[in-house]
Amino acid sequence: MDRRTWYFVIAGLIVALLFAVVVSQFASDDPDGLEYVAEQQGFLDTAEDHSLGDAPLADYGGNLGGSDRMNTAIAGIAGVAVTLAAGWGLFWLARRSGLGATSEPKDG
Amino acid sequence: MHIPDGFINGTTSAAAGVVAAGGVGAALRQTGRYLNERQVPLAGLVAAFVFAAQMFNFPVLGGMSGHLLGGVLAAVLVGPWAGLLIITVVLLVQAVLFADGGLSALGLSTINMGFIGAMLGYLIYRVVLRVTSRATNGVAVAAGFAAFLSVPLAAMGFVVQFAIGGVAASSTGTVLTAMLGTHLLIGVGEGILTALVIGAVMASRPDLVYGVPRYQGNRTEALV
């Protein structure tokens, strides 16, 4: 892959980290659209507790025990790293494993 | 927009899981066919970016917030099938690592945000692009408009699921009105964010944007 595209990926990752670590600190705590409607329409209480709700990063770091700011930052960095790795790995596998391979050249 | 466990009954959730798994399998075959080498890290980046952007809930009206769904954003950048896969990866990581969105509801959410948000959203983008392609920033404007529409459409996906398998006795009609009204507002945020990001990429590396017809070359795909 050419150098300019690598630069683009790195620059994009820096922006993603800025969102996950800094901008996320200013996120609204109000319920999102679905939660809001569920409460208004009286079916929010049919929601069950999440089966992985005790995991360390559950609720974006809520169980980490540090300050809110630090928990959100750690959750943001972890989430960006895992989604990057999972996305990259999945697409790499899809291309390499010959899934959907045809006789056409792939780098057309 | 992440559905918790319990809103929709087990049968409906399981059926949605089967449908979603089938779609993801098809998407893996399709992306294996059309993604070129440099789009692989790009797809990873888009997944990370959508995750990061979803951490920012923006205030909407008094007492409600919204966040980016990112389906149209991902599909315009790397293609609709890849967009579906990216949304699926983000939903999986959010449900497993962050307890955001129920595990049993993963299929339901993948249909709403992936099938509807990314793939139907991309179809709308291509239709709108026919009108805006000659205008300055036509790609960003078309993406923004499709992103705006994708949010109430994804919300309608939930309403259909609620009508089929909703556990509560709430009237489908009032849930529909409430979901449509709130998500039309949230869609405005989706449209603005998507247009800004696509505009920024178009200004720096338009050759990396899948949804630009002249760069698509002979990379054909089944959807459009």
Interface probe for A, chosen from B9, B31, B64 (most Cβ of A below 10 Å), is B64
| Chain A residues touching B55 at Cβ < 8 A | 19-20, 23-24, 27, 60, 72, 75-76, 79
A89 Cβ contact partners less than 8 Å away, ≥ 6 residues apart: B44
CB contact at 8 A, B151 and B120: no
Residue-range domain boundaries for chain B: 10-216
Mean pLDDT value across residues A23-39: 96
Q: Which residues of A touch B63 (CB under 8 A)?
A: 30-31, 36
Q: CA separation (Å) from B22 to B26, B27, B32? A: 6, 9, 16
Residue spans per domain, chain A: 1-28+54-99
pTM > 0.90 = yes
Mean pLDDT per 10-residue segment, chain B (224 residues):
96 98 96 88 97 96 93 97 98 97 97 98 97 92 98 98 96 96 97 98 94 62 41
- CB–CB contact B28 A107 (8 Å): no
Measuring CA to CA, which residue among B123, B111, B119, B191 is closest to residue B151?
B191
Question: Would you report the helix, strand and coil content of chain B in percent, each value rounded to 5?
Answer: 75, 5, 25
pLDDT at A106: 45
The domain made up of B10-216 has a fold known as Arp2/3 complex 21 kDa subunit ARPC3 (1.10.1760)
- CA nearest neighbour of B87 among A87, A92, A14, A99: A87
Interface TM-score (ipTM) > 0.85:
yes
**Is B53:B192 a contact under the CB 8 Å cutoff?**
no
